[in-house]
Copies of this chain bind each other. A is one copy, B any other.
């Protein structure tokens, strides 16, 4: 279990603090729950959501998780969603609707148990899939999950997602479970019919490994780790750049002297400050156009606000 040593959260977090733990019943989350209990975490609440997508087997998953939690003396909350209806209502893919349902379930648990911290079992192989999928969908560079990540759910609840296993391989987790003689539900974690991700996991990454004779999942997961360090470099560079004027507006004569990649960082950061949390690439490129006086002097933002260029500054205009 040297994989938990790679997580500074796991090594240093208070054992008495309360944590919600997402447990599907699959190997990854079962290993997570056992390891937390073994490490002395004494105020855990197991949270399990039945997505309503898999009928009988999903009911068995929930029973398994309940028995597991009971056996470990850990509280357990079982939720029920109807992801199919959600997909129809929200015109979303199964992946997006299922994530929405999970976040709302965690939000309800967070409110009920007065605890916004959610520990999740995502590991390096999940990270590799995420990175590859984001890359194919057009992310600038590697974009993966973070060990600590604050999100705001659709219903406005803040959650702190904690992922201590991002440095661990799925095979390590399964090896540990086998060694300890522990059981899990084979299908529970792979169970959602998320075709693209399953195919990236089961076909694309193995093929890349086979062709190259290298561990493709490791390569992509490492890419995500390096990307995090790259972000620290970017934040540092942004601080050096001093792009804000005393009124907190972007100072164009300064901004124009910076490399374009740093201009993007500055614009993304500026938008974030003003509540535009995850600006798309397209939006950033349009914001970048503001630097050139030949282009229109305003860019509309999601949410109704705008970026405006005036007197050699870019400022944020509140929604009217």
Please give the residue numbers on chain A whose beta carbons come within 8 Å of chain B beta carbons, in ascending order: 132-133, 135-138, 140-142, 196, 199-200, 203-204, 207-208, 211-214, 216, 219-220, 222-223, 226-227, 229-230, 232-237, 240, 258-262, 265
Contact = CB atoms under 8 A, between A and B. Distances in A.
Contacts of A259: 229, 232-233, 235-236
A226 B136 contact: no
B216 A211 contact: no
A242 B117 CA distance: 40
B219 A211 contact: no
Contact of A234 (B138, B220, B233): B233
User: How many copies of the polypeptide does the oligomer hold?
Assistant: 2
Contact of A230 (B137, B204, B240, B261): B261
A74 to B, nearest CB: 37
A128 B214 CA distance: 18
Contacts of A199: 211
A175 to B, nearest CB: 24
B240 A262 contact: no
Contacts of A233: 233-234, 237, 259, 261-262, 265
A182 B141 CA distance: 37
20 contacts: A133-B212, A136-B208, A138-B219, A138-B222, A141-B141, A141-B142, A141-B226, A141-B230, A196-B213, A200-B212, A204-B207, A204-B211, A226-B261, A229-B259, A229-B260, A230-B230, A230-B261, A233-B237, A233-B259, A237-B237
